[in-house]
Amino acid sequence: MKTIDLHTHSTASDGSLSPTELVRHAVEKGLSAIALTDHDTIDGIREAMVAAAHAGKAGHPFELIPGIEFSTEYEGRDVHVLGLFIDIHNDFLIRRLIRFEKSRNRRNVEMAERLTAAGMPVSMEELRSEFPDSVITRAHFARMLFKKGFVKTVREAFDRFIGDGRPCYIRRRNISPMRAVEIIRKAGGFPVLAHPVLCHMSSSRLDTLVGRLTAAGLMGIEAVYSTYDPSDERDMRRLADKYGLVISGGSDFHGKAKPGISLGTGKGKLFLPYSMLDTIREAHKKMLSGNGSYRLRKILFTDLDETLLKRDKSISGHTFDVLRRWTEAGHLLVLNSGRDCNSIRKVWEDLGLNRLQNVYLVGYDGGEAVDPFTGEVIYRVALKKEDVDYLEEAAARYGVHLHAYSETHIIAHFQSEELTFYQKTIKTPVIFSKRLGDALTDGPCKLLAIEITDRERILRFRDDLTPWADAHGISFLFSTDRLMEIFPASSGKGTAVKKLTGILGERLGLPGLCTVAAGDQQNDLSMLEESDIAIAMCNGIEELKEVASLVTEYDNEHDGLALELEDLI
């Protein structure tokens, strides 16, 4: 019976056989087809296709499936997505891979520098010389450390130095699995969730992921794999049946780089009939016949100041055009700010964003979501009035300016220097009241503390009140060095991403919405952490860049966000 292997690697990524050697090895083992699925690269495909053609001319008909394996991240877990039958000439794919390579190279340079500083000198020149034509990964670093005698085993290199959280580890900016599915589909490929058991998720969490990926365009699942036991395979087949996915399988062969895994047979019991490839090929043809309708719908949550807006609170014509094209493509736009909703509505009007469709407003650091076209309050989360009273009294003791918000006004004690400073940007009208609560009908979505001359004062206020705030479910976060937001812990920009995406997904019949977030400050952190695609502004704080999927090349003065969004439309 003809057999295949739809998950293999060559020296173009982290395998030990060249693409030519891999094909020859497959022919020697009697396989009829393999998919070359190197990590985040297609550099070995052409060579492998030439080798496959030579095998055919020599009387050994052999099929090479052009593929790729994207390394992605979902809720802090590594998730891999295979692309089978990809078009290696696709311009969209090529441009994405060039960008990934630049990001990976920056990370490798930083890791080499960190290892060298730790007394284990490793240079990029050495790595490229030792592993020519390879995509340099941590596996290559580990092998170099072993060769130089810095570790006794390759495993030790990961355990002590370059594994996740180890001293010389540099986090890689991975894309989301939904984005990987989109890239594969746009490159004409057939997306398959690779070895889902190795994601090490609970059954319910994995089920949720597969459901989201299916809504995003996933077509197959790797239900047959080298390390699966019979129960693993049954579980994966059940998931495939539930979501209508095609069964795929592979050894994940790396040669000497992954001892004990043989091409085509895995650990000796793997069996992949050619009929599996026939089924995938038919499903791929059907997918392509309707691929013109494929679109991964996205919802963008963007901060305003220092992210979407320039310093003068405007946006360029190019940024407006990108936002117009974003919404016309069917994506949703959410202005997600610490500002009050009245102030955000004014931005929406002044920038002409009221001429666009699919725009929503979220104010008070996630406390309230509004449909600006109808005025509907989609949801609201507020502080208790008794907590406002306590914070008001504490702020007075520390000499910190504090004000609140009603549905229509800022509520302040008097025209302080801090309020005047704030009003340079925020034009919401003000009501003065001896006690904030006297001017409030309901609890406010947030309070704002401002200190423009003595930052240590507002830090003492925050630190001393943190135990009380934790006990009462209240969060303190800085939106700038001078402005500290105070809001319910059940609120927050990250909560807004989850809550509003769920509500709008159900209302609009879009269960597979891919979330995108962009920000620059501490109060944007939860928003980026909650999103599938997290964009940190290059002018933002380092803490945000650590969790981001990508960092803009340009700042908010030079269309930094718009240039990233163009790639996602």
pLDDT band at 274 (very low <50, low <70, confident <90, very high): very high
pLDDT given for residue 107 in this prediction:
86
pLDDT given for residue 64 in this prediction:
98
pLDDT at 407 over 90: no
pLDDT at 210 over 90: yes
Residue 169 placed within a domain: no
The CA-atom distances, in angstroms, between 106 and each of 8, 372, 539 are 26, 42, 18
pLDDT band at 164 (very low <50, low <70, confident <90, very high): confident
Rounded to whole angstroms, how far apart are CA atoms 533 and 372?
A: 25
Mean pLDDT for 409-414 is 95
Q: Judge if 322 and 207 occupy the same domain.
A: no
Rounded to whole angstroms, how far apart are CA atoms 204 and 36?
A: 31
Residue 103 placed within a domain: no
pLDDT given for residue 174 in this prediction:
82
Mean pLDDT for 467-484 is 94
Mean pLDDT for 384-404 is 95
| Per-residue model confidence as pLDDT tens digits over 17-27 | 999 999 999 99
Q: Judge if 460 and 421 occupy the same domain.
A: yes
Strands 514-519 and 550-551: unpaired
Residues paired with 191 in a beta bridge: 83
445: tokens are 């979505």
Question: Shortest CA distance to 306 belongs to which of 494, 537, 127?
Answer: 537
413: tokens are 């004690």
Residue 543 placed within a domain: yes
How many CB atoms sit inside 10 A of residue 398's CB?
A: 16
The secondary element (H helix, E strand) that includes residue 402 is strand 401-405
Q: Cβ distance 530 to 497 under 8 Å? A: yes
Average pLDDT score, the chain: 94
293: tokens are 């309708």
Mean pLDDT for 415-427 is 93
pLDDT band at 253 (very low <50, low <70, confident <90, very high): very high
Calculate the CA 168 to chain-centre distance.
23
Q: Cβ distance 57 to 42 under 8 Å? A: no
| Per-residue model confidence as pLDDT tens digits over 102-158 | 888 888 999 999 999 999 999 999 998 988 877 788 888 999 999 999 999 989 999
Q: Please return the burial class of 252, using the count of CB atoms within 10 Å of its CB with bins 0-12, 13-18 and 19+.
A: buried
**Percentage of the chain lying above the pLDDT 70 cut:** 100
The CATH number for 235's domain is 3.20.20.140
Q: Judge if 128 and 16 occupy the same domain.
A: no
Question: Shortest CA distance to 395 belongs to which of 368, 410, 416?
Answer: 416
At 126, give phi and psi (nearest 5°): -65, -45
pLDDT at 250 over 90: yes
Q: Judge if 196 and 264 occupy the same domain.
A: yes
Rounded to whole angstroms, how far apart are CA atoms 336 and 365?
A: 7
Rounded to whole angstroms, how far apart are CA atoms 530 and 419?
A: 32
Residue 369: domain span: 298-381+492-568
**What torsion do the CA atoms of 73, 75, 78, 82 make, to the nearest 10 degrees?**
-60
pLDDT given for residue 75 in this prediction:
86
pLDDT at 383 over 90: yes
Q: Judge if 90 and 209 occupy the same domain.
A: yes
Rounded to whole angstroms, how far apart are CA atoms 369 and 306?
A: 21
Residue 440 placed within a domain: yes
DSSP line for 437-470: GGG-SS--S-EEEE-SS-HHHHHHHHHHHHHHHH
Confidence (pTM): 0.84
Q: Judge if 135 and 71 occupy the same domain.
A: no
Q: Cβ distance 72 to 175 under 8 Å? A: yes
Q: Please return the burial class of 480, using the count of CB atoms within 10 Å of its CB with bins 0-12, 13-18 and 19+.
A: middle
For residue 27, give every residue at least 6 positions away whose Cβ sits within 8 Å of its Cβ, in sequence order, or none: 55, 60, 62
SS3 of 83-152: EECCCCCCHHHHHHHHHHHHHHHHHHHHHHHHHHHCCCCCCHHHHHHHCCCCCCCHHHHHHHHHHCCCCC
The CATH number for 439's domain is 3.30.1240.10
Q: Judge if 79 and 217 occupy the same domain.
A: yes
pLDDT at 367 over 80: yes
Residue 320 placed within a domain: yes
Question: Shortest CA distance to 531 belongs to which of 506, 498, 503?
Answer: 498
Q: Report the number of distinct structural domains present in the chain.
A: 4
pLDDT at 54 over 80: yes
The CATH number for 544's domain is 3.40.50.1000
The CA-atom distances, in angstroms, between 97 and each of 135, 230, 273 are 11, 36, 31
Residue ending a domain, choose from 118, 137, 162: 162
Mean pLDDT for 242-271 is 95
pLDDT at 257 over 90: no
Q: Judge if 464 and 546 occupy the same domain.
A: no
pLDDT at 3 over 80: yes
Residue 480 placed within a domain: yes
Q: Cβ distance 90 to 57 under 8 Å? A: no
Mean pLDDT for 21-47 is 96
| Per-residue model confidence as pLDDT tens digits over 307-352 | 999 999 999 999 999 999 999 999 999 999 999 999 999 999 999 9
For residue 414, give every residue at least 6 positions away whose Cβ sits within 8 Å of its Cβ, in sequence order, or none: 432
